[in-house]
Amino acid sequence: MSQPAIVSENLTYHYGDLVAVDHISFEVGEGEILGFLGPNGAGKSTAVKMLTGQLLPKEGRATLLGQDIAHHAKQIQAQIGVCFELTNLYEPMTAAENLNLFARLFGVRNFNADALLERVGLGGKGKVRVETYSKGMKQRLMVARALINRPRILFLDEPTDGLDPVSSETIRNIIKEAQTNGTTVFLTTHDMVEADKLSNRVAFINKGKIVALDTPYALKQQYGKRALKAELVGANGQLESREIVMDAPDTAAQISRLFAEEKVVTVHSEEATLEDIFIQITGRGLV
Amino acid sequence: MSLRRIAILLGKELIWGPRNFLFIFAIIIPLVLTLLINLLVGTYFSGKPRLGVTDAGTSAFVAQARSLDGIVLREYGDAAALQDAVTRGAVDLGVVLPAGFDEQLKGDAAATLTVYVYGESLLKNRAILATAITNLIRDLSGQPSPVTIVSETLGDSVTMPWEQRLLPLVVLMTVILGGSMVPATSLVEEKQKRTITAITTTSTSLGELFLAKGILGVLISLTMGIVILVLNGAFGSQPLLLIGLLFLGATLAASFGVLLGALVKDINTLFATIKGIGILLYAPAIIYLFPSIPAWIGRIFPTYYIITPIVEVTQNGATWSAIRLDVGILILLILALMGIVAFITRQARSRPTMLPGIVS
């Protein structure tokens, strides 16, 4: 891992007696995409609020770009971009007016709203009032707003939730592009496929604790079942399926026998999904 | 704290704020109230009663009427022009003086005087003009007054006229509507639309946002306060002192508005709170409406220190030395409120429940 852009050390937050985030520790390297996954109420949002300087941790500390967020929130916030789950745009304004306002607040010189809008697939819509935008357009505009200051860390909270496939794909491409430019991405999502596709590593959070943190591949290796699933023609002429577990001592012999003795129609490798792994680890689903 | 960012946020408020209904209320309500009071009490804009006259001859009536201080005299070339002026309401009463009117008065024959009355003129103006006309005619006829009237004031001789009693209420409403309600609603709207979170997760601080909202309140409150005093002819001979007092009043109102907006989560709660505390905010002005209520009671309400110095200067011609104690208390109240706002601003990240809706 490269130099960490985000370091969380025993980060803790509680609302009265309810512990929302319970001593979570992790690092995110510069230019890395970390998928932060967990069901509703797991503590994702509270963790993001602490990492983006909205809330002070009750215990522990978070360091972003080498500075403690508790003491240097404004310096850090000048270098990060945050895209919220719920729409929070100035809807009576046009898209360009929204972006220009934030560009001026960030002190970005020679800001070109049209170019940024073009980048998120909203070219030619700059002079349209945001209140007339669809949900997907608003979401893309929020992503655009998060990119105004060319952030070194980008926090995205459910950026593709409820969007049409085209809008979702546009946002995924923007995330990849940001990573290519060296931006660290902290991605909170319910979409396991999205997390699998985009993230270098994923963290599972459950009941305020990080219960797993690794690359999707490593998690699948560690927790997932590896198997071959074959469809073959049975004795009565009907299609039957058979599963061969990959890590058994006689896996190779089983495969040899399968092809030697049976009439194999199809063979598939079977891998666990991140959702399967999450359920396996926590005993609960993501929703 | 960045002045540049505060100016950007203030600019946004000034461009987009006027579309907010309370922003419009803050400007329109004081003007409507002034007009309403004018209609009811008939003082602020009506000024002196206006008498129109057309003289077919060379009556001394015109010259004598011109010298009267209590009325405005307008002369017209003929009866038709006078009639038109009365119909339009340009004058309250119109008098057509026939040729040889003065001679008719001095002679034995009864003189005839045609008087046009503007139907919507105030009764008070009609009564003043009728009395003035009667006195002028008696003087011209050379007859002495048959009665000497000795007037004696009964009841409360220090009771203020209604326009003076109502002025504090209008001024206080102007200062509070613009100073408190505009920043409070603006802040609560930002919370409900969650734009406040978007702003405060940039390099802009909550303090800068609060300050921009507060300055907006001060600007509206001060501007409308000046307009209302000018419209009511209450600016007097110490305009700079009055502007200073209005500025301090607007600052206290704006600090209160920001505090209210910070503590209240949604617009329904805000209006419920305003309804609940409205009587306390306007209590000093209500006390002015009823001079029989002991004036000291007003001192327990913070807004007393906004309105009393203004009233003292506008209505009693008080100088700085007479109001400095009240102004000192007003400044202390401003500092106290600003201190509270600064304290809760610092608590926003560690105790978010204190400022609901800031973190969303």
Whether residue A96 is predicted with pLDDT greater than 60 in this model: the reply is yes
- Measured CB to CB, residues of chain A less than 8 Å from chain B are 49, 52-56, 73-75, 77-78, 80, 82, 84, 86-93, 101-102, 104-107, 145, 149
pLDDT digits (tens, 9 = 90+) for A99-126: 999 999 999 988 999 999 998 888 889 8
Q: Do B198 and A91 touch (CB under 8 A)?
A: no
Q: Which helix (H) or strand (E) holds A136?
A: helix A135-147
Instruction: Report the distance separating Cα A242 and Cα A264, nearest Å.
Output: 10
Q: Flag whether B245 is in a domain.
A: yes
Same domain assignment for residues B90 and B235: no
Q: In the listed set B141, B171, B192, which residue is the last one of a domain according to the structure?
A: B141
Strand pairing report for A209-214 and A201-206: antiparallel
Angle ∠(B11,B12,B13) on CA atoms, nearest 5: 90
Same domain assignment for residues B215 and B293: yes
pLDDT given at position B251 = 96
Same domain assignment for residues B54 and B37: no
pLDDT given at position A1 = 47
Question: Which chain B residues touch A80 with a CB distance below 8 Å?
Answer: 201
pLDDT given at position B156 = 58
Among candidate residues A255, A177, A215, the one with its CA nearest the CA of residue A29: A215
Strand pairing report for A201-206 and A33-37: parallel
Same domain assignment for residues B316 and B295: yes
Tokens of B149: 């009237």
pLDDT given at position A68 = 93
Same domain assignment for residues B95 and B234: no
Q: Flag whether B152 is in a domain.
A: no
Same domain assignment for residues B24 and B68: no
> What does the mean pLDDT of chain A come to?
88
Tokens 């909170």 — which residue?
Answer: A188
Among candidate residues A101, A209, A120, the one with its CA nearest the CA of residue B198: A101
Same domain assignment for residues B238 and B340: yes
Size of interface A-B (CB pairs under 8 A): 66
Domain A4-215: give its CATH superfamily. P-loop containing nucleotide triphosphate hydrolases (3.40.50.300)
Which residue from A56, A77, A90 is facing B350, i.e. has the nearest CB?
A: A56
Angle ∠(B352,B358,B360) on CA atoms, nearest 5: 90
pLDDT given at position A129 = 94
B201 touches chain A (CB under 8 A): yes
Q: Do B201 and A53 touch (CB under 8 A)?
A: yes
**What residue type is assigned to position B103 of the chain?**
E
Question: Which chain B residues touch A49 with a CB distance below 8 Å?
Answer: 359
Same domain assignment for residues B167 and B210: yes
Same domain assignment for residues B37 and B64: no
Instruction: Report the distance separating Cα A70 and Cα A189, nearest Å.
Output: 25
Whether residue A98 is predicted with pLDDT greater than 80 in this model: the reply is yes
B8 touches chain A (CB under 8 A): yes
Q: Do A53 and B204 touch (CB under 8 A)?
A: no
Give the ipTM of the model, two decimals please.
0.83
Q: What is the DSSP letter of A45?
A: H
Q: In the listed set B85, B111, B141, which residue is the last one of a domain according to the structure?
A: B141
Q: Flag whether B305 is in a domain.
A: yes
Q: Searching chain A, which residue's CA lies closest to the CA of residue B346?
A: A56
Pick from A54, A100, A129 the residue to mutate for testing the B interface (most B CBs within 10 Å). Answer: A54
Q: Flag whether B120 is in a domain.
A: yes
Whether residue A84 is predicted with pLDDT greater than 70 in this model: the reply is yes
Classify A253 as helix, strand or coil. Answer: helix
Whether residue A2 is predicted with pLDDT greater than 60 in this model: the reply is no
CATH number, domain of B83, equals 3.40.1710.10
B204 touches chain A (CB under 8 A): yes
pLDDT above 90 covers a percentage of chain A that reads 47
Same domain assignment for residues B201 and B310: yes
* CA of A171 vs chain B CAs: smallest distance (Å): 19
pLDDT above 70 covers a percentage of chain A that reads 98
Same domain assignment for residues B199 and B235: yes
Tokens of A237: 């002429």
Q: Flag whether B155 is in a domain.
A: no
What string of H, E and C letters represents the secondary structure of chain B? Answer: CCHHHHHHHHHHHHHHHHHCHHHHHHHHHHHHHHHHHHHHHCCCCCCCCEEEEEECCCCHHHHHHHCCCCCEEEECCCHHHHHHHHHHCCCCEEEEECCCHHHHHHCCCCCCCEEEECCCCCHHHHHHHHHHHHHHHHHHHCCCCCCCCCCCCCCCCCCCCHHHHHHHHHHHHHHHHHHHHHHHHHHHHHHHCCHHHHHHCCCCCHHHHHHHHHHHHHHHHHHHHHHHHHHCCCCCCCHHHHHHHHHHHHHHHHHHHHHHHHHCCCHHHHHHHHHHHHHHHHHHHHHHHCCCCCHHHHHHCCCHHHHHHHHHHHHHCCCHHHHHHHHHHHHHHHHHHHHHHHHHHHHCCCCHHHCCCCCC
Q: In the listed set B141, B171, B196, which residue is the last one of a domain according to the structure?
A: B141
Instruction: Report the distance separating Cα B192 and Cα B12, nearest Å.
Output: 18
Q: Do B197 and A88 touch (CB under 8 A)?
A: yes
Same domain assignment for residues B185 and B320: yes
Instruction: Report the distance separating Cα B20 and Cα B178, nearest Å.
Output: 12
Instruction: Provide the domain limits for residue B115.
Output: 50-141
Q: Flag whether B359 is in a domain.
A: no
Instruction: Report the distance separating Cα A89 and Cα A141, nearest Å.
Output: 9
Tens-digit pLDDT string for chain B (360 aa): 889 999 999 999 888 877 777 778 778 888 888 787 777 665 544 467 889 999 988 888 899 998 887 788 889 999 999 999 899 888 889 999 988 888 888 777 677 788 999 888 877 788 889 888 988 888 888 777 777 767 675 655 555 667 677 888 888 989 998 899 999 999 999 999 999 999 999 989 999 999 999 999 999 999 999 988 888 777 766 889 999 999 999 999 999 999 999 999 889 999 899 888 888 889 998 888 887 788 788 899 999 999 999 988 887 778 888 899 999 999 999 999 999 999 999 888 878 777 777 776
For the entire predicted model, the pTM comes to 0.77
pLDDT digits (tens, 9 = 90+) for A131-188: 999 988 999 999 999 999 999 999 999 888 878 888 888 888 899 988 998 999 999 9
Which residue from B19, B200, B349 is facing A92, i.e. has the nearest CB?
A: B19
Count of domains in chain B? 2
Which residue from B9, B19, B359 is facing A54, i.e. has the nearest CB?
A: B359
Report the pLDDT averaged over residues A59-80.
92
